[in-house]
Structure 1
Amino acid sequence: MDNRFSDFQEKRMKIFGELVRRYWNGKLKSNYDLNELAQDIKERYGFTDDDMPFIKDHIRIAMGLDPKGDSEFKDELDIIKKSKEIGVPVIARIQGSCEHCGHDSCRCEDVCKYEAHIYRKSEGPVIVENKCLSCGECVTACDFGAIADKIEFLPLIDLLKDSNTPVFASVAPAVVGQFGDDVSMGQLRTALKLIGFTDMVETALFADILTIREALEFNHQVKNEGDVFLTSCCCPVWFNLTKKQYPEVFKRMSPSVSPMIASGRILKKLYKDAKVVFISPCIAKKAEVKEPELKGAIDFVINFRELSEIFSALDIHLKDLPGDEKDHASMGGRIYARTGGVSFSVKTVVNRLEPERVIKLKSKRVDGVSACNKILSDLSNGVDINANFVEGMGCSGGCVGGPRTNIDVSKATRMVNEFGEDSLILTPFDNLNVMKILKQLGINTIEEIIEDNEVNRLLTRKTEL
């Protein structure tokens, strides 16, 4: 095994951190500066001149650009200055490291659970885009830097420094505890404001709104024994797995968008010319925001691991900051971060809407690819699953088990549960922030969320194939 390529996941973040530090401080203005960075990386990690195309492609990926497979920087900085979005594909293959991998049976060969790539040892992985769900398993499994997801922060820096552009951070419910045991959400808000964000909003607030919507949908659609309703909330891997491989089951899925998309659409409706950045535990969210029907809701996606490196590069120490604490979301919205959270939250609202309902919500919660695939296969084959509400999460443990989290699943789950219990708002139905937002959007009663109006359009996507 060639040590200069090993542990590349960590090296990649250090490359990104150095890129951020230099760009933020005005020290990346020309190709000469980019070449100097590449040379520094080469010397720091013991690479050779032959490795320069590989190094420079990882710099491009860290800038949010496509790899080129050559050594020459050309117009990369000009592209970044003009970028309003990061293009597809989200996950790219980088040449130059596979031949140095010492695994006789490389982990890349079996890691993709969706058969989205064909692995050839001599050439590296080939990603079949119409099958790839952008779950990120291949990226995190390859520690030699052969596959990487684009990082979306550099084009955002100029926006954060523009005082005339409001930029909101919508933070995923799984964020709690990701930046230190003693770091509060208020301190995270302060840190984000220090780097130019206008404010930080809990995505869980929009999960509360969607919980109410899906509870109303459940009451309308599940009338008889045998009726089954699939949540579409949260996980794009679950949504796309169902859509691509189980079209008949997909017809039973809610048309609701994810809380991330709802946050972007609603914030942009409330704040003129606003930009919205989603802070995410996973890679799949980077692909979700680029889907044609959802495009424009979220401008950039930064994951927890990347944000941690950003704070380090900019010398921001969260534990030393004052906390700007706010209570946006209910317990129900906050525990969307872990397996069973959506089911629990929707059930609390169903019970409040129709306490005398004969057919009670009975949920089946599955997490991890194989479990999601199994229950979808059962539904497709007419197997009785003994449930009428199905929640699927692509990652084991739910979003807290995402491939770009900073802490382990069990600890993250515990911290999410504690943060949920700390909320002064028990259920989405009790969240006055929800009604305040809905009234600003012209909605006066909860039931109007599923009627034909502008708010309904903000909260839905097409589920027809």
Structure 2
Amino acid sequence: MCIIVLIISKERVSEISLNAFTGFQQKRMEIFSELVKRYWNGELKDIKDLDKLALDIKEKYEFKEDDLSFIKDQIRVAMGLEPKGKAKFENELEEITEIDAIKKPIVSKIEGVCEYCDKEDCGCDDICRYEAQVYKRQKGPVIVNDKCLSCGQCINDCDFGALADKIEFIPLINMLKDTNTKVYATVAPAIIGQFGDNISMGQIRTGLKLLGFQDMIEVAMFADILTIKEAHEFNHLVKKEEDFFLTSCCCPVWFNLTKKNYPDTFEHMSPSISPMIASGRFLKELYPESKVVFIGPCIAKKGEAKEPSLKGDIDFVLTFRELDQIFKSLDIDLKSLEGDEKDQASFGGRVYARTGGVSFSVKTVVNRIAPRRLIKLQAKKVDGVKNCKLILDHLSSGKELSANFVEGMGCDGGCVGGPRTNIEVDKATRIVNEFGEDSLIMTPYDNLNVMKILNELGFDSMEDIVKEEYLIKLLTRE
């Protein structure tokens, strides 16, 4: 009888643990929300306060005592720190006050959860669908960071929270509250519509200012600048029928997939930095000593900002999902705010957010600067890592392609299909197109905001983007 009771007890413990871990992606954001509220309000001053947070989480979700190290690691990662696998907090609160940038790796393995996973149903065997990062070995996934594309799909696919990406907001709070530090938010073109129907860009800008940001700038404006650069590069490099040009340097998954696995094809890739990196570089030229925070739909952007040759251009990266949670945690109701509206980017720059947007934008400028070209720009647009691999396999094999301008985006639908968006891709695409059509600026060449930036840097012509060494260096990868 005793043995039977013991077996039932173990099964019950296992069931309770399974319930605690199931659906952890949503629970993780709720943990982050509680962390934000307590830190913002000055309620996290020492280890005792962090311990209380961990115990509150344990009780709320019915975790076991043995799961405390898992909970504390989730708190650490939500603070932007490395998981330690320890059941005791140490100097985490001191660490975040000294952080001016989050370190790699972006994606971390959290110990203590895989033992509860049903091995037959576990997705670890193909949790990284594109042979890049994670594979099964013994207890749970093993991360191979030098192969990782940082696409973030593995995090979404692991419902138990064994994989997590660092959240970069907690170290930023002290900077936002410091009146001597100017912090600018640059937002990805896919942001429109992500925070609710009829929420305008101006209302998002006002919300960000309430958080302490100096201002919000559309990254689409810097996409306009890079469109002009890539249009001139295409016009210069594609002279024969067999020539082709790879673009969408805005997508780090596409860029890294090509660079790591297709070196010969990579030679045809545009040398341009991404619009995100351009936003940081230009703002820091205009406002020295400022901090720049990029907000987008993408986990891979966290990795891009930490590349050695790009380090320091963007200080922190937040996702739409994280920002939405921050607004809710701090009771910032966007729909009740007065909008601070500005028209900063062209139609072309704004539709960078969806598949085909880059090709469309570059083509408008090519037609503008070289209307009599004999070889017209013929675009091939692919999205999703699987389709990106297919087109790269095709190009690397030397097969002919009925296109000379290849645009790749790692997420299905483009950035609107990123792993940290708040709305589904079809709706997001429609809203992005409508927002682009609402722009008063027809093409990147008509963007007077770009001209104003160039003037402030001492230049007086759009052509200087591709003629002046200073601007060329500012817009080019090493």
TM-score, structure 1 length as denominator?
Answer: 0.98
Residues 418-465 of structure 1 show CA distances to partners (whole Å, capped at 9, x for unaligned) of 000000011101111111111222332223222352111111103xxx
Secondary structure of 2:126's match?
A: helix
**1:387 aligned partner:** 403
Query: Match of 1:43?
Result: 59
Specify the SS of the correspondent of 1:315: coil
Partner of 2:288: 272
Q: Which whole-Å CA distance do the structure 2 matches of 1:105 and 1:187 have between them?
A: 44
1:121, CA displacement in angstroms? 5.9
Aligned counterpart for 2:213 among listed residues 185, 197, 205: 197
Distance 2:351 2:132 in 1: 31
Task: Map 1:8-19 onto structure 2 (within 5 A).
Answer: 8-19=24-35
Map Cα deviations across residues 187-224 of structure 1 (whole Å, 9 max, x no partner).
Answer: 00000000100000000000000000000000000111
Of the three residues 352, 355, 368, the one matched with 1:339 is 355
Displacement of 1:84 in angstroms is: 0.3
Match of 1:292 in 2: 308
When normalised by structure 2's length, the TM-score is: 0.95
Kept in 1: contact 2:184–2:217 (CA 8 A): yes
Distance 2:136 2:265 in 1: 34
Distance in 1 between the 2:453 and 2:245 partners?
27
The superposition leaves residues 237-268 of structure 1 with CA deviations (integer Å, 9 ceiling, x where unpaired) of: 00000000000000011100000000000000
Per-residue displacement from partner, 1:41-72 (whole Å, max 9, x unpaired)?
00000001100000000000000000000111
Percentage of pairs with the same residue: 66
Aligned counterparts, 1:148-187, within 5 A: 148-187=164-203
Aligned to 2:259: 243
Give the structure 2 partner of residue 459 of structure 1: 475
* C-alpha contact 1:191 1:321 (8 A) present in aligned 2: yes
Aligned equivalent of 2:232: 216
Aligned twin of 2:8: none
1:363 to 376, 379, 391: 379
Take 1:247 and 1:149, find their aligned partners in 2: how far apart are those partners?
28
Unaligned 5+ segments in structure 1 are none
Q: Which amino acid aligns with 2:60?
A: R
What's the counterpart of residue 377 of structure 1?
A: 393
| Mapped partners of 1:72, 1:111: distance in 2 | 30
**Residue equivalent to 1:426:** 442
Structure 2 unaligned residues grouped into runs of 5+: 1-14
Q: Distance in 2 between matches of 1:212 and 1:68?
A: 46
What's the CA shift for 1:90? 0.5
Measure the CA separation in 2 of the matches of 1:441 and 1:101. 56
Q: Which residue identity is paired with 1:248?
A: D
Residue in structure 1 matched with residue 426 of structure 2 by the alignment: 410
User: Does residue 1:22 correspond to 2:53, yes or no?
Assistant: no
The equivalent of 2:10 in structure 1 is none
CA RMSD after TM alignment: 1.0
Deviates more, 1:429-438 or 1:322-331: 429-438
1:284-309: CA deviation from partner (whole Å, max 9, x where unpaired): 00000000000010000000000011
The whole-number CA distance in structure 2 between the counterparts of 1:161 and 1:75 is 22
Is structure 2 residue 91 aligned with structure 1 residue 79? no
The 1-side partners of 2:37 and 2:113 are apart by 26
Preserved CA contact (<8 Å) 2:297 2:320? yes
Determine the structure 2 residue equivalent to 1:99.
115
- The runs of at least 4 consecutive aligned structure 1 residues that moved more than 6 Å come to none
**One-letter code of the match for 2:47?**
N
- Asked if structure 2 preserves the Cα contact closer than 8 Å seen for 1:61 and 1:149, the reply is yes
- State the match for 1:263 in structure 2: 279
Q: Is the 8 A contact 2:127 2:135 kept in 1?
A: no
User: SS at 2:280's partner residue?
Assistant: helix
Matched length = 462
Opposite residue 43 of structure 2, the aligned amino acid is K
Larger Rg: 2
Question: Is 1:116 aligned to 2:132, yes or no?
Answer: yes
Counterpart secondary structure, 2:131: coil
